[in-house]
Amino acid sequence: MSATELPPALAEIRDDFLAITKQERLQLLLEFSRDLPALPERLADHPELLERVEECQSPVFIITEVDEAGHVHLHATAPQEAPTTRGFASILAQGLDGLTVDDFFAVPDDFPFELGLTEAVSPLRLRGMVGMIGRAKRQVRAAIADS
């Protein structure tokens, strides 16, 4: 697949996945699932601020915020027994963090299919991650409209 222009952090994640074997990619996704950043306290205490991503089979909740400097931050939480979903959320939380709004919107919705996980994880499951990106973009659109 021809490489899309991705923001540096996300491009690095993609390149890391593509540099290893299919089986190793599952392991890397597992590492991402372990590294899903914890919610900041102000959100952890207010789960109602997070939105459920219906496209995902497991309960995953995300909130995407735009800070005063115009940078995007995605926070997510998903249960330990849903490591695949946690891994997807973690890639997004780490790969999109701090982007400007414009760079954030430039990330293609279907970029998960560039990670080389299609065979190892299945297209159906990857669609859950596509759904997360769609949800995040909607949240950012709403955040901008409110500001």
Contacting positions for another protein (CB under 8 A): 26-27, 29-30, 33, 54-59, 80-85, 87, 119-122, 124-125, 127-128, 131
Q: Which lies closer to another protein via its Cβ, residue 43 or residue 56? A: 56
Q: Which lies closer to another protein via its Cβ, residue 60 or residue 72? A: 60
Q: How far is the CB of 17 from another protein (least distance, A)?
A: 14
**SS3 call for 129:** helix
Q: How far is the CB of 1 from another protein (least distance, A)?
A: 18
Burial class (CB in 10 A: 0-12, 13-18, 19+), 45: exposed
Tokens of 82: 């849903």
Q: Which lies closer to another protein via its Cβ, residue 81 or residue 102? A: 81
Burial class (CB in 10 A: 0-12, 13-18, 19+), 79: exposed
